[in-house]
């Protein structure tokens, strides 16, 4: 579990995803790995759903996966 701080996401991602990423960052910064992992699983599913629905593009998906270490 990690967040690559060097990777930036575009500013106009869907608001719901931005809120999810902010929440993940808060748990990450607090070293609350239980909550980070709990929220992370839902975020991963949401990111994939947004891609499949055409709400984010492949470049966004790849960038998010790289930033959050999703394989």
Q: How is the chain split into domains, by residue range?
A: 33-71
Cα separation, 11 vs 27, whole angstroms: 21
What would the pLDDT profile of 6-40 be if each residue is shown by its tens digit? 999 999 999 999 999 999 999 999 999 999 999 99
Q: How far apart are CA 53 and CA 6, in angstroms?
A: 27
pLDDT for residue 58: 96
3 three-state secondary structure: coil
Q: Tell me how far apart the alpha carbons of residues 55 and 32 are, in angstroms, rounded to a whole number.
A: 30
Q: Would you say 66 and 6 are in contact if contact means Cβ atoms under 8 Å apart? A: no
Rg (alpha carbons) of the chain, rounded to whole number: 11
Looking at every residue in the chain, the average pLDDT score rounds to 94
| Whole-number Å distance between alpha carbons of 71 and 54 | 20
């Amino acid at each position: 579990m990690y967040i690559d701080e060097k990777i930036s996401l575009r500013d106009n991602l869907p608001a719901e995803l931005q809120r999810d990423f902010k929440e993940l960052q808060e748990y990450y910064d607090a070293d609350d790995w239980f909550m980070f992992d709990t929220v992370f699983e839902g975020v991963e599913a949401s990111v994939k759903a947004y891609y499949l629905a055409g709400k984010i593009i492949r470049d966004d998906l790849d960038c998010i996966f790289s930033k959050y270490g999703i394989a």
